[in-house]
């Protein structure tokens, strides 16, 4: 395998909410770093003692550099935790599993190149955690052609009616996120609103659904701003926003854009309306950029996938997060972060599907993903971690995995459903408080 590491390590500030009880859910905002970086990065330290059989690899195809860099380390941490848990039970059909990062550089064009490199350079590739973001529609067919199952965190609505049998989406669509944001804001007193998104955000995928739902509920979207990311000033737009006198604002921007925009609004108005965003705005870099320039004026609530479910699965996940410390700084910060949790659950689901199919071949085990997930019911044994699932399958029982993030239920398009919680961010402590959930019947 040909690896080309960079000359220097890359340090990333990362944190996240997430997929929390009505009490404070722990400080989620911290710094994270990757010790080394490469276009296709050497396999992780999740390995256990060598098996007599050849190991298998899970590629963590995410962003480790560029504007979306905060997403990568959490996905990697989740993968390594799950791999370590699986390996502690003897691996998958005797095969140890490792996690190998692949950086798409936050660029859809680079993602295509990296997809080809991943498929040709990684030995014994059995699953992909990805592809990420807007590159999924173009890169997933390439991966599918190699018969490798994918478990993706992309939110693009282009995958809402996915027909690829190798593609499974493990997070909600951005269109669903937009609906959740609109519902929560309107039903908590916001009848007039503005939207502020930047060109690096999911504006094209979140805003249409948000606007449709908000207007349907009776709200009025007074202004809809799409600003160029990381501009030196937004004074004219800030003045228009300040003059709109809205009751709340919907937003998703990168940290630098947020710091510049909101500081300029505060120079015109002495206070900000309540701000509603999504989980992308709860990463560490956002917190560290916005806090110094807004202080107590910034009242932010994120609509995010709901909290981890208290179970033996969560206990095992937190226990094995420490095994990611060789590649991700302070991996314990991801103990309640839903994207990391979703990736950990995906690795365990894939492993159980392999056991159920008695094969690590993607073309064989992909159908068994549905067989080991879904809603608990008669004749199915509920399992909460890999060891429980392995024991039940060895006893020839049908199982349903209810994991760290709860049930994983895929529809006919291999999209998973999710409950959304409203998480209030405390900028002083970096913690969040769960204010409640959006009713599941509101979401498609």
Tell which phi-psi region holds residue 153, choosing left (phi > 0), alpha (psi between -120 and 50) or beta: alpha
19 and 151 in a common domain:
yes
Q: Which domain holds residue 346?
A: 10-171+310-407
291 and 167 in a common domain:
no
In a domain, 415, yes or no: no
In a domain, 4, yes or no: no
356 and 268 in a common domain:
no
Q: What's the confidence (pLDDT) of residue 7?
A: 35
Question: Which structure tokens are listed for 139?
Answer: 């890169």
In a domain, 230, yes or no: yes
Q: Which helix (H) or strand (E) holds 399?
A: strand 399-403
In a domain, 443, yes or no: no
433 and 286 in a common domain:
yes
150 and 118 in a common domain:
yes
254 and 156 in a common domain:
no
106 and 28 in a common domain:
yes
359 and 252 in a common domain:
no
Q: What's the confidence (pLDDT) of residue 283?
A: 62
The b-or-e profile of 391-430 (16+ CB within 10 A means b, else e) is: ebbeeeeebbbbbbbbbbebeeebbbebbbbbbebebeeb
In a domain, 233, yes or no: yes
Judging by DSSP bridges, how do beta strands 399-403 and 381-383 pair with one another? parallel
Q: What's the confidence (pLDDT) of residue 298?
A: 86
Question: Which structure tokens are listed for 28?
Answer: 């989620």
Q: Residue 407: what are its φ and ψ, rounded to 5°? A: -70, 145
166 and 314 in a common domain:
yes
Looking at residue 191, the DSSP 8-state letter turns out to be -
433 and 302 in a common domain:
yes
226 and 87 in a common domain:
no
pLDDT, mean of each 10-residue run, the chain (444 residues) = 34 34 34 41 39 81 88 94 97 97 93 96 96 92 98 93 96 91 97 93 86 97 94 96 95 91 94 89 73 86 79 93 90 84 96 98 97 93 97 98 91 89 74 82 83
In a domain, 416, yes or no: no
Q: In the chain, how many domains are there?
A: 2
In a domain, 414, yes or no: no
Q: What's the confidence (pLDDT) of residue 102?
A: 97
Report DSSP letters for 294-346, one per residue.
HGGG--EEEEEEPPPP-SHHHHHHHHHHGGGTTTBSSGGGGTT-HHHHHHHHH
pTM given for the model: 0.79
In a domain, 28, yes or no: yes
Looking at residue 123, the DSSP 8-state letter turns out to be T
195 and 128 in a common domain:
no
CATH number at residue 377: 3.40.50.2300
């Amino acid at each position: 395998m040909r690896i080309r590491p960079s000359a220097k390590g890359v340090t990333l500030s990362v944190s996240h909410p997430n997929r929390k009880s009505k009490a404070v859910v722990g400080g989620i905002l911290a710094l994270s770093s990757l010790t080394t970086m490469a276009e296709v990065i050497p396999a992780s330290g999740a390995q256990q003692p060598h098996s007599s059989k050849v190991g298998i690899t899970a590629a963590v195809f995410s962003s480790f550099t560029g504007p979306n860099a905060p997403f990568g380390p959490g996905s990697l941490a989740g993968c390594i935790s799950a791999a370590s848990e699986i390996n502690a039970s003897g691996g998958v059909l005797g095969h140890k599993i490792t996690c190998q990062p692949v950086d798409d550089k936050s660029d859809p064009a680079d993602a295509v190149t990296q997809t080809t490199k991943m498929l040709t350079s990684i030995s014994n590739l059995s699953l992909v955690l990805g592809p990420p973001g807007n590159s999924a529609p173009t890169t997933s067919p390439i991966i599918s052609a190699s018969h490798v199952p994918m478990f993706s965190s992309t939110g693009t609505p282009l995958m809402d009616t996915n027909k690829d049998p190798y593609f499974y989406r493990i997070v909600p669509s951005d269109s669903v996120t937009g609906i959740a944001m609109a519902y929560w804001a309107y039903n908590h007193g916001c009848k007039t609103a503005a939207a502020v998104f930047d060109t690096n955000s999911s504006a094209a995928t979140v805003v249409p659904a948000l606007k449709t739902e908000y207007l349907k509920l009776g709200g009025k979207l007074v202004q809809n701003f799409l600003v160029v990311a990381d501009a030196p000033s937004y004074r004219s737009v800030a003045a228009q926003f300040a003059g709109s006198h809205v009751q709340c604002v919907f937003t998703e921007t990168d940290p630098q854009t947020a710091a510049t925009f909101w500081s300029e609004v505060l120079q015109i108005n002495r206070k900000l309306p309540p701000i509603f965003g999504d989980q992308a705005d709860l990463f560490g870099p956002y917190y560290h950029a916005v806090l110094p320039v807004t202080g107590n004026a910034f009242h932010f609530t994120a609509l995010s996938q709901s909290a981890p479910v208290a179970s033996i699965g969560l206990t095992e996940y937190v226990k094995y997060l420490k095994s990611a410390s060789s590649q991700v700084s302070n991996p314990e910060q991801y103990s309640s972060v839903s994207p990391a949790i979703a990736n950990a659950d995906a690795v365990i689901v894939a492993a159980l599907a392999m056991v159920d199919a008695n094969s690590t071949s993607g073309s064989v085990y992909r159908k068994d993903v549905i067989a080991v997930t879904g809603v608990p019911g008669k004749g199915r044994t509920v399992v909460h971690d890999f060891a429980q699932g392995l024991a039940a399958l060895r006893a020839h029982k049908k199982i349903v995995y209810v994991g760290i993030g709860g049930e994983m239920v895929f529809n006919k398009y291999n999209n998973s459903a999710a409950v959304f919680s409203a998480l209030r961010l405390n900028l002083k402590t970096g913690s969040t408080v769960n204010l409640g959930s959006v009713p599941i019947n509101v979401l498609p």
